[in-house]
Amino acid sequence: MRRAIKDFLAERAELIDILEAAGPRSFDLPTPAQPWMVRDQVSHLAFFDDEATKAVSDPDAFFAGVAAMAEVGADVYMDQHLARGREMEPGELIEWLVRSGDDLASALEGRDPDERIPWYGPPMRARSFVIARIMETWAHGQDIVDALGVDRQPTDRLFHIAELGIRTFRFSYENRGLEAPDERVRVALRGPTGTVRVWNDASSNSVTGPLEDFCLVVTQRRHLDDTHLVMEGPIAHEWMSIAQAFAGPPGPGRSPL
């Protein structure tokens, strides 16, 4: 649990460094997640880290927010916090991002990794909850670095995201109204420091390649054609075409570059 929290804070710190180096004018640049600007990506992360802190520390307040979203609709609810971020100066947005991340890390410190925490879908175990925030930070950070034209170096923190991407195998199918295959896919990924991890080693279908490329696909930040992933077997090909590590309705994915 401590390692996951540490990696969450490290991922957040790296993104803040990138934003500070880019300067205030960069906050109004468009990102690939149209029509969101860089500032929208930042306010989205900060807002949902605040909501995550409520889910951990004050579930009643969190459920009140869920009820408010149900009343106005998810699109209006989303627009409300984006509007808040659009009224802020870049420095204020960074301060919000820093504070929300620190508050969440403090709320999670000392929690049992298996403790169930409420969220917008089924409750999540605390460790998975942290990993989901790592994934969100990195994925929305990818939209930001793409907008800025910054070369962000991958780290072994991405193994957290890969694990989440593999655990959401069944969800990726059911989220699209499809029946998930009984057989899972063998996944072998090479991290940036040379570490190789393998999941479902006995499966006949397989996905192999760079850790970063796998994470870009399961977070729908790159099209398969723009990666070095190698897939063998029909299940592997099908899964990678619909893989989705994040909650919510099926994402549109990205067109080939």
Q: What is the mean pLDDT of residues 134-157?
A: 97
Listed residues 148, 166, 200: the one ending a domain: 148
Per-residue confidence (pLDDT) for residue 169, from 0 to 100? 97
Q: Are residues 45 and 24 in the same domain?
A: yes
Q: How confident is the model at residue 43 (pLDDT cuts 50, 70, 90)?
A: very high
Mean of the per-residue pLDDT values of the chain:
95
Q: Are residues 56 and 87 in the same domain?
A: yes
Q: What is the mean pLDDT of residues 16-38?
A: 96
The model's pLDDT over 89-110, given as tens digits with 9 standing for 90+, comes to 999 999 999 999 999 999 999 9
CATH of the domain at 55: 1.20.120.450
Q: Are residues 127 and 162 in the same domain?
A: no
The model's pLDDT over 62-94, given as tens digits with 9 standing for 90+, comes to 999 898 888 888 888 888 889 999 999 999 999
Per-residue confidence (pLDDT) for residue 73, from 0 to 100? 86
Per-residue confidence (pLDDT) for residue 22, from 0 to 100? 96
**Burial per residue of 90-106, b for 16 or more beta-carbon CB atoms within 10 angstroms, e otherwise:** beebbebbeebbebbbe
Per-residue confidence (pLDDT) for residue 51, from 0 to 100? 96
The percentage of residues in the chain with a pLDDT greater than 70, rounded to a whole number, is 100
**Is the dihedral angle over the CA atoms 31, 250, 167, 82 positive or is it negative?**
positive
Q: What is the mean pLDDT of residues 196-213?
A: 97
Per-residue confidence (pLDDT) for residue 35, from 0 to 100? 93
Give yes or no for a contact between 49 and 101, defined as CB atoms under 8 angstroms apart. yes
The model's pLDDT over 150-173, given as tens digits with 9 standing for 90+, comes to 999 999 999 999 999 999 999 999
Q: Are residues 126 and 171 in the same domain?
A: no
Q: Does this model's pTM top 0.85?
A: yes
Query: Residue 103 — φ and ψ, nearest 5°?
Result: -60, -40
Give yes or no for a contact between 221 and 142, defined as CB atoms under 8 angstroms apart. yes
Q: Are residues 131 and 20 in the same domain?
A: yes
Asked if residue 153 belongs to a domain, the reply is no
Asked if residue 123 belongs to a domain, the reply is yes
Count of domains for the chain: 2
Q: How confident is the model at residue 27 (pLDDT cuts 50, 70, 90)?
A: very high
d(CA 199, CA 188): 7
Asked if residue 257 belongs to a domain, the reply is no
Which residues constitute the domain of residue 196? 158-242
